[in-house]
Amino acid sequence: MTQAGVYGRRLGQGLHSKQAPVLITRSLHSAALAVTEVRNDDPTPGISGSLAAEDAYLVSLKFRDYPGCECWEQGRCVTKADVRAGATYLYDLKRDPRYVIDKPFHSLFFYLPRSAIGDLAVQPRGSRIGELSYEPGVGHDDAIIRHVGASLQEGLRRPDETNQLFVDHMMLALTAHVGQTYGGLKPAAEPSRGGLAPWQVKRACERLDSDLSGKIALQQIATELGLSVSHFSRAFRISTGLPPHQWLLQQRVKAAKQLMTVRDLPLSEIAISAGFANQSHFTRVFSSMVGVSPGAWRRETDGGREKI
């Protein structure tokens, strides 16, 4: 089946990069949102390939300097400027953005269809969004995109250890930020109480707890509760004190502790049973949240014999 958006392999081919790992989520009305990491340390000089003319933007976070970047739109050179590591650039896919590749580069590209940004505007208290504030070749010092990019870069490096709830949460936050910062979207007023109803909390927690691997999407749970994704995420945090992906991590650690206490299982099996990708992933998350490694916790708790 042909990929519909400019992300992943399709984006990598256009930028002459063989490796283009991608994480994908869905917006309120199922439009794809994606983040792709593209890198080429030894490029063959030439202009990048023409990307599909879509009603979408690419928001790019640069990881390395790129002096004298020559940007093209609609078949002509529109600017030539130095690109700095840490800066954010916007590209309008309707304008056929391209640039001359003649130096090593390393960037993240967030694929944001206009329909996904517009989804935020139709929610309660949302404001209508037209075009994003966009100038070719003009970079922005955007600390939030740097933070989101760094978080998702870890997920791109360890896709087996990245739960879908985390990707959904981060991409939703980035889309809202882009809409507010570059599209004039007014943030929704925080409700005074605004949490989920008790039955909604119970249902949401049951759905999350039923799949500790984190494959269930935020959109699926929100739809079952009759809420938008952003409303559900905000209300869940108000009700539980944690965003869904952090709540799920706590449940994984809780399940792992129960297994280590009542069953004489190897840590590698406990890791899989509790929803972690592998023992290394389990050890890293458990140690971060509990303060000691799983093996040390088990020895301190019951003196049991650790199996590896």
Per-residue DSSP letters for 12-30?
Answer: HHHTT-S---EEEEE-TT-
pLDDT in tens, 97-107: 999 999 999 99
Mean pLDDT of 207-225: 83
Give the β-pairing of 46-47 and 22-26. Answer: unpaired
What is the arithmetic mean of pLDDT over 177-194?
70
Closest CA to 55 of 81, 91, 20, 92: 92
Percent of the chain with pLDDT over 90: 40
The per-residue pLDDT for 214 is 76
CB-based contact 212:206 (threshold 8 Å) = no
Q: How confident is the prediction for the chain on average, in pLDDT?
A: 85
Tokens 């799920």 belong to which residue?
Answer: 248
What are the φ/ψ torsions at residue 22 (nearest 5 degrees)?
-140, 145
Nearest one of 233, 263, 237, 107 to 172, comparing CA atoms: 233
Q: Which residue has the higher pLDDT, 3 or 137?
A: 137
Helices 229-240, 164-183: axis angle to 10 degrees equals 110
As beta bridge partners, residue 33 has: 25
Q: What is the pTM of this model?
A: 0.78
% the chain with pLDDT above 70: 89
- Among residues 142, 234, 231, the alpha carbon closest in space to that of 181 is found at 142
The edge-to-edge listing of strands for the beta sheet with 76-83 is 46-47, 98-101, 66-73, 76-83
Helices (H), 158-242: 164-183, 198-209, 218-224, 229-240
The residue assigned the tokens 């400019």 is 6
Residue 91 tokens read as 């590209």
Mean pLDDT of 162-170: 86
What's the confidence (pLDDT) of residue 1?
38
> Tokens at residue 62, please?
């640069």
The better pLDDT of the pair 41, 190 is held by 41
Mean pLDDT over 85-91 rounds to 95
**What letter does residue 42 receive in the DSSP assignment?**
S
pLDDT at 124 over 50: no
pLDDT for 135: 85
